[in-house]
Structure 1
């Protein structure tokens, strides 16, 4: 049984179909990269998976449970996922340690001592041990994004959703955040991520999905998509990315 199964997913905003019949399966420990131009539906797809948006049609199953069923416990579903956006969304009045332990303590009812011990282990693992008592505005952008990823990891999610987590960063800070994602993959974390970092996508993904106009137009291994895409529109998009890099 696949960890996540999406079938015939549609989402409409103000008469415009943002997602059009998306079918996608994600296996445990698989890393799926969503690529495509801005407005292609990548972020909306992640938000539908996390139930931050309500699908207009189609189904999503997580561990065999239909989470798009109106009777599904949305908060319970979200407890099994971690989601990180391009904006860090750390609470500015709380220390890094308190940001990370908030959900485990308040949502998952983990004791403070255990939650803090787990948080400190994660901070040490990802090079932020010395920042536990710092506030978000005392961190660099890369450190804030790493802290946001650690916060999502602290609830031990079944699935991580990462939405353009490097796009708000200066180029020199991108590498440290990508290093965190690389380590999550090595640890077997199941992830769906949207990214414009094609080189990193090629390195880390098990499956690459190209979205265009709300349609999952093509999917395959990184080698298939980047070396021999089957659709002209995929080739056109990838060439536009290459041309943009040359400017």
Structure 2
């Protein structure tokens, strides 16, 4: 059974269809990269999966359970997912440790001592052990994004959603964030990520999905999408990226 199944998903804004009949399956331990031009619907798709956006038509199933059912509790569904955005969204008045332990303690009812133990293990694992007592404004952009990813991991999610997590970073800081994603893949984490880092996408993805105008136009292996795309629009996008020297 697929971990995530999106079937016939439509999302409209002010009469404009942002997502048009999206079908997507994600298997356990699979890494799916969503690519496409800005405005193609990639971020909206992630927000729909996390139920941050209402779905106008279609269904989303997580572990076989229809989470778009009106009777589903969005808060309960989100306990099983971690989502990280372009902006770090760390609480500025809280230390890194408190940011990371907030959801495990308040939402998952983990005791403070155990939540802090687990958080410190993650901070050590991802090179931020010495920043537990620091505040977000005392961290570099790369450190803040790593802390945001660790915060999402602290709830032990079934699925991680990563939305352009390197786009707000200076090029020198991108590498350290990409490294944490590599480690998550090595550990078997199921992920859907949107990215403009095409070289990294080619390296990390099991499946690449090209979105164009709200349609999932093509999906395949990185090799197939980047060297022999079937659709003309996919070829045009890939060629544009190549011409820009970003791959």
TM-score category (smaller protein): over 0.9
CA deviations on 1:159-212 (whole Å, 9 max, x unpaired) are 000000000000000000000000000000000000000000000000000000
Q: Distance in 2 between matches of 1:245 and 1:119?
A: 39
**Residue in 2 that maps onto 1:183:** 183
**Residue in 2 that maps onto 1:3:** 3
CA deviations on 1:24-78 (whole Å, 9 max, x unpaired) are 0000000000000000000000000000000100000000000000100110000
Q: Distance in 2 between matches of 1:167 and 1:48?
A: 21
**Residue in 2 that maps onto 1:235:** 235
**Residue in 1 that maps onto 2:203:** 203
TM-score norm. by structure 2 comes to: 0.99
Q: Distance in 2 between matches of 1:102 and 1:223?
A: 41
Q: Distance in 1 between matches of 2:227 and 2:175?
A: 24
Q: Distance in 2 between matches of 1:150 and 1:244?
A: 33
After superposition, residues 71-220 of structure 1 pair within 5 angstroms as 71-220=71-220
Q: Distance in 2 between matches of 1:239 and 1:86?
A: 25
Q: Distance in 1 between matches of 2:2 and 2:237?
A: 29
Q: Distance in 2 between matches of 1:200 and 1:230?
A: 21
Structure 2 runs not aligned, ≥5 long: none
**Residue in 2 that maps onto 1:37:** 37
> Offset of 1:244 from its aligned partner?
2.2
TM-score norm. by structure 1 comes to: 0.99
> Offset of 1:119 from its aligned partner?
0.2
Q: Distance in 2 between matches of 1:62 and 1:13?
A: 25
Q: Distance in 1 between matches of 2:48 and 2:171?
A: 29
**Residue in 2 that maps onto 1:14:** 14
User: Does structure 1 residue 49 correspond to structure 2 residue 40?
Assistant: no
Q: Distance in 2 between matches of 1:245 and 1:103?
A: 41
Q: Distance in 2 between matches of 1:55 and 1:211?
A: 18
Q: Distance in 2 between matches of 1:190 and 1:128?
A: 23
Structure 1 runs not aligned, ≥5 long: none
Q: Distance in 1 between matches of 2:207 and 2:225?
A: 9
User: Does structure 1 residue 244 correspond to structure 2 residue 244?
Assistant: yes
> Offset of 1:241 from its aligned partner?
1.3
Q: Distance in 2 between matches of 1:52 and 1:43?
A: 11
Q: Distance in 2 between matches of 1:243 and 1:136?
A: 37
Number of residue pairs matched by the alignment: 246
Q: Distance in 2 between matches of 1:219 and 1:99?
A: 36
